[in-house]
Amino acid sequence: MRKIGIPEIEDIALGAALLGAGGGGDPYVGKLVAIGAVQECGPVTMLDPDEVPDDALVVPIAMMGAPTVLCEKAIGGDEYKTLYDTVSTFYGKPIFAFMPIEAGGVNSMLPIAAAARLGLPLVDCDGMGRAFPELQMVTFTIGGGSATPMAMVDEKGNSCIFRTVTNKWTEELARSVTMACGGSVSVSLYAMEGKFMKEYGVRGIVTRSEVLGSAIRKVKEVTDKTPEEAFLEITEGYKLFKGKICDVLRDVRNGFNFGKVVLDGIGDYKGQSAYVEFQNENLTAVVDGEILATTPDLICLVDTETFTPVPTDALKYGKRVMVIGLKCFPLWRTKEGLDLVGPRYFGVDTDYIPLEERCKGGC
Amino acid sequence: MYKLGIDVGGTNTDAVLIDEKLNVVASIKQHTSENIYDGIINAVRTVLEQSGIDRAEIVQAMLGTTQCTNAIVERKNLAPIGIMRIGAPASRGIPLMVDWAEDLKKIAVKTAIVGGGFEYDGKELAPFDTEAATKFFQELKEQGVKSVAISCVFSTVRNDHELEAAKLCKEVMGEDVHVSISSEIGSMGLIERENATILNAALYKVAQSFTEGFAQSLADQGVTNAQVYLSQNDGTLMTMDYARRYPILTIACGPTNSIRGASYLSQQKNAIVIDVGGTTTDLGVIQNGFPRESGVAVTIGGVRTNFRMPDVVSIGLGGGSIVRQQEDGTVTVGPDSVGYKITEKALCFGGDVCTATDIAVRLGMTDLGDKSLVMGLDEEFAKKGMAAIRALCEDSIDAMKVSSDDVDVILVGGGSIVLPENLAGAKSVTKHEHGGVANAIGSAISKVSGTYEQLIDYNEIPREKALEQARAEAIELAVSAGAIRETVEIIDAEDVPLQYYPGNTARVKIKAAGDLA
C-alpha cells in the first residue's frame, strides 16, 4: 500500500505514453483530470493486488470515444460517483477498489481520478500491460471474463448498464450510446472479484509505468553511462533500430488508424532500413526485411535525444527515433493470448516468436 | 507612398522603409534600448534621414514586438483578472489553471465554471447559466477587476455562449472592461485554448502600453498619416484596436516575420529559411508564402497553449559559436558562443577565441575583420570545423523537410556568412543583401487573414461541398479583418479525420489571407 500524489501522476503519465506502444491517446488531458481530482480530494491509496480480498468487487474504469472530444469536454467529475452507484446497485455490493483496464495512454489516468473522487483505493494492476484497440483484447477474456455488464455514464448524468450476447454487440451498443452522449463517455467494464483479478491481471503495471516515466524524466542526470544505455537498462528494452523517419503512410478505416512508418538508419544503423506497421498501436518492427518484433510484445518509438515516446499520430518526416521492444505480459504469449492479440489477428502473416528470441545474437 | 516596418527583438531593433513596389528604400539595425520606444524613435529617425522622404507619405506602419512574451516569462506587468469557463456539467474534472506554476496562478482574482457549452456537433450541452454568470461578474466588479477571460466547451464549433457571456460581462461590469473569449484566440482543445485566453486577459495593460507607446513614437517623428498595425505570430497583421484586445497573438511574431521577410527578398514561396544569429540559428519553413505552423502544443512561460505558432527549430550554431579541437582530434562548434561580443573576442577582430566566423574567414568564404589574424589557424582544423558546421546545418535542414526531395534554402541573418553555399538536401541556396533585416521586412509586407475551423460529418455534407463552404467562410473572415477581396487567397487548408470515431467526421481548418486595403 502506498500513496499516489501529483509527482507520481506526472511520472505514470509519461510511462503510460511509452506503454501506449504508439497508441492509446495522449495521456495529457487524462493527467489533468487525475491531478484535478487529487488536488481536490487528496492523494490516492494504491494497493498491491495481494492486498485485495478474494471476494471484493474490483472495477476497471476507462473512457470510450474520441480523445479529441475528451480534450474539449474533459470529465465532469460526478461520472465516477454515478458509475459507482450504478455498478454497486447492480451487483448488490459495494465496489472495493478501482483499477485501469489499460495502462497505456489516456486510460491509465482516469481510474486515478475515480479513486481520488470516491476515496477508494486503486489496484496496481491492469488487463493489458500496454494499450490495445479493441474491447475484448484483455487478459480477462482468457480467463473467461466478460466486458459486460458494462456501465456507461456521461457528464450530464445519463447512465446505463447493459448485458450483451457477444462482444460485437457490446461494441455496437457502446458506440451508439457514446455518440448519442456527445462522443466521449466514462465506462466501467470487466467488473470482477479480487481472486479473478489476481489470477489474470497484469500485476504491478502502474508501478512499472511510474518507473518508466521517472527513467525518461531523469535520463539526462545519469553520469556513469550514456543516457541511451541508462534508458535501455531501466526499461529492460531491446534496441531494435535507430533511424530517421523518411516516410509515413496512413489510412483511416472504421475509426482505426492504419499505417506504416519507414526509417533510414543513422549512427550504427547507417545504410540499413526499417519499418514499423501500426493499427493505432505498433504491430511489427522489420529491419532489413527481417521481423524483429511483433505484437503482443510492445514496439515503441522514442525520441533519440529526450527518449520521450513518439505516438503514431506525431510521426513526421525527418524525426530521429529509436525503436525499442519491450516484453509483453506472459499470458499474451499463450495460444489463447495470441488468438486475441497475436500478429495473425491483426492480419500480419507470421508466427509469434518472443522478442528476446528474435533478437538473440544482437539486433 | 511608403510602408514602415519595425521589429523589436530582445537584442536588436530593426527598421525598414519600403516603397509601393515593395523595394527596400532604407534600413537600420541597432541594439534594443532599455526603453524600447527610444530605440523605435531612433530607428525611425535613421531610416527617414537615410531616405530623405516626406514622412507624410508613410501610409502604413507595422510593428513586431516580443513585449508580450517577455511579460509572461518575467511575470511583469500582468493584470489581475477573473476567469470564467462555460461548460458545466462537463469539464469540471479539470479545474482552471490546474497545472500552472504557483506564481503565475496569482493573476486570477476569482474563477468560476458555470453551466453551458456545446457538443462536438453543435448541439447544446447545457443551457448557459446566466444567473451564475451575472453573480460572478458582479463579484468581479466589486473587487475592481478590469479584465475577464471566458472559455467555453466546443466554442470552436459554436461560440454563441461565449458571445452571450461577453455581452453580459460588459452589461454588468461596464463597457470599459476588457473581455477575452477563447473562440477568437485558440483552436480545438479546451485547456490549451483557455490557457491562451487567460494569458491574453492578463496582458491587456502590457498591450495598452505598447500600442500607445508605438503610436507616440511615430507621432514624435512626425509620422501621422499612417495606418498602424501589429504583427501576429501567423505572419498576418492586426489593427491597433485588435492588438489591444488580443495581445497574445503577437507572441513569436519575430521568427514568423523573419521567415516571411526572407521569402519576400528571395521571391520564393516554398523554401526552408535559415536565420543565423550570433549564438543560435533558427530554421523555419515557408509554405505558399506563409510559415508552416507547429503541430505540437506550444509552451509559453510554462503554460501549455495551442494557438498558431510557426514551426521553428533552434540549434546552437551562430557567427560567434566557439570552435574547439577535442582530445580525440575531432573539432566541435558551439553550442556556447561569444554572442554580441564577437567584435572584441573573435580572432579576426583581434580577440583570442576561435569562432565560427574565424573559420569562415580563414577558409576565404568571407572578408571580415583582419584576415591576417586568422591565417595562423591550421587549415586542416579549419576544414574540420567547417565540416562540423555543415553537418549541424544539413541535419537540421533534413529534420525540417516533409519529404526526401531537395528543397530551396534561403539564408538570412548576420551570422549566415559562416554557412557554406552548397548544402546537401538543398536544391538552391539564396542570400540577399537585406537579409540582415528580414524580420522588419516581414513585418512591413504582412497580409491580413481569416481562419475557419469546424468539425464536419461528411455523411451529412459531402466533403467537396463542405470544403467549398469552409473556404467561402474563411475568405469572408479575411475580408472582415481588412483584406481587399480581390487579393484574398486560401493559404492553408486541412481536413483531418477523427480517430476512434464512427461515421465520417473530420476537423476542417481553412485559412485565407489578402493584401491590406
B310 part of a folded domain: no
Return the exposure string of B379-399: e unless at least 16 CB atoms fall within 10 Å of the residue's CB, then b. eebbebbbebbbebbebbbbb
B274 part of a folded domain: no
B186 part of a folded domain: yes
Q: Does A175 touch chain B if contact means CB atoms closer than 8 Å?
A: yes
Q: Do B11 and B67 lie in a common domain?
A: yes
pLDDT digits (tens, 9 = 90+) for A224-252: 888 899 999 999 999 999 998 888 888 77
Residue of chain A whose Cα is closest to the Cα of B157 = A72
Chain B residues near residue A318 by CB distance under 8 angstroms: 398-402
Chain B residues near residue A25 by CB distance under 8 angstroms: 500
The three-state secondary structure class of B8 is: strand
Assigned CATH topology for domain A2-205: CV3147-like fold (3.40.1610)
**B185: Cβ contacts below 8 Å, ≥ 6 apart:** B193, B196, B197, B200, B246, B248, B249, B307
**CB pair distance less than 8 Å for B94 and A314:** no
Q: Do B333 and B420 lie in a common domain?
A: yes
The three-state secondary structure class of A178 is: helix
Q: Does A155 touch chain B if contact means CB atoms closer than 8 Å?
A: yes
Residue B383: phi, psi to the nearest 5? -65, -40
pLDDT at A256 over 80: no
| Nearest chain B CA: its distance from A296 CA (Å) | 21
- For B99, the closest of A32, A73, A280 (CB atoms) is A32
Q: Do B57 and B158 lie in a common domain?
A: no
Chain A residues near residue B507 by CB distance under 8 angstroms: 68
Return the pLDDT at B173.
Answer: 97
| Nearest chain B CA: its distance from A350 CA (Å) | 27
Q: Do B84 and B197 lie in a common domain?
A: yes
B110 part of a folded domain: yes
Cis-peptide, bond into residue A121, ω within 30° of zero: no
Give me the percent of chain A exceeding a pLDDT of 70.
Answer: 99
Residues spanned by the domain of B383: 315-441
Return the pLDDT at B156.
Answer: 84
Nearest Cα residue to B298 out of B72, B146, B126, B140:
B72
**CB pair distance less than 8 Å for A314 and B296:** yes
Q: Do B388 and B411 lie in a common domain?
A: yes
- For A68, the closest of B94, B401, B498 (CB atoms) is B498
B263 part of a folded domain: no
pTM, two decimals, is 0.85
- For B89, the closest of A33, A37, A157 (CB atoms) is A157
Return the pLDDT at B152.
Answer: 98
Residue extents of the structural domains in chain A: 2-205, 235-358
Collect all residues from B whose CB is shorter than 8 A from any CB in A.
87-95, 98-99, 117, 119-120, 123, 125-126, 153-154, 188-191, 295-297, 304, 398-404, 497-503, 507
* Final residue in a domain of this structure, among B407, B441, B475: B441
Q: Do B217 and B189 lie in a common domain?
A: no
Q: Does A246 touch chain B if contact means CB atoms closer than 8 Å?
A: yes
Residue of chain A whose Cα is closest to the Cα of B403 = A317
Number of domains in chain B: 4
**CB pair distance less than 8 Å for B94 and A320:** no
- For B89, the closest of A113, A156, A319 (CB atoms) is A156
Q: Do B7 and B48 lie in a common domain?
A: yes
In sequence order, the β-bridge partners of residue A257 are A252
* Class of domain A235-358 as given by CATH: mainly beta
- For B90, the closest of A155, A280, A320 (CB atoms) is A155
pLDDT digits (tens, 9 = 90+) for A107-158: 999 999 999 999 999 999 999 999 998 889 999 999 999 999 999 999 999 9
Q: Do B179 and B238 lie in a common domain?
A: no
Q: Do B321 and B436 lie in a common domain?
A: yes
Contact in structure between B441 and B415 (CB atoms under 8 Å) = no
B94 part of a folded domain: yes
Return the pLDDT at B502.
Answer: 59
| Nearest chain B CA: its distance from A106 CA (Å) | 13
Chain B residues near residue A246 by CB distance under 8 angstroms: 404
In sequence order, the β-bridge partners of residue A304 are none
Q: Please give the Cα distance from B12 to B2 (Å, whole number).
A: 23
| A235, containing H or E segment | helix A227-235
Return the pLDDT at A136.
Answer: 92
Q: Do B329 and B358 lie in a common domain?
A: yes
**CB pair distance less than 8 Å for B500 and A36:** no
* Final residue in a domain of this structure, among B202, B237, B260: B202
Return the pLDDT at B30.
Answer: 82
**B321: Cβ contacts below 8 Å, ≥ 6 apart:** B279, B333, B334, B335, B336, B337, B355, B356, B418
Return the exposure string of B282-315: e unless at least 16 CB atoms fall within 10 Å of the residue's CB, then b. bbbbbbebbbbbbeebbebbebbbbbbbbbbeeb
Chain B residues near residue A155 by CB distance under 8 angstroms: 89-92
Task: Read off the C-alpha cell for B280.
Answer: 543560435
| Nearest chain B CA: its distance from A196 CA (Å) | 30
ipTM confidence: 0.90
The CATH number given to whatever domain includes residue B63 is: 3.30.420.40
Residues of chain B with confidence (pLDDT) below 70: 10-11, 295-297, 307-308, 496-503, 517
Q: Do B353 and B414 lie in a common domain?
A: yes
Q: Please give the Cα distance from A293 to A298 (Å, whole number).
A: 8
pLDDT at A19 over 90: yes
Return the pLDDT at B337.
Answer: 83
Residue of chain B whose Cα is closest to the Cα of A72 = B190
Q: Do B320 and B427 lie in a common domain?
A: yes
B133 part of a folded domain: yes
B278 part of a folded domain: no
pLDDT at A87 over 90: yes
* Residue A187: Cβ within 10 Å count: 25
Taking CA atoms, A164 is separated from A175, B236, B282, in Å, by 13, 55, 57
pLDDT digits (tens, 9 = 90+) for B124-182: 999 999 999 999 999 999 999 999 999 999 998 888 899 999 999 999 999 999 999 99
Interface test with B, best of A72, A75, A78, A273 (most B CBs within 10 A): A72
Residue of chain B whose Cα is closest to the Cα of A321 = B399
pLDDT at A363 over 70: no
Q: Please give the Cα distance from B182 to B248 (Å, whole number).
A: 11
* Final residue in a domain of this structure, among B441, B464, B497: B441
Return the pLDDT at B500.
Answer: 54
Interface test with B, best of A73, A278, A313, A316 (most B CBs within 10 A): A73
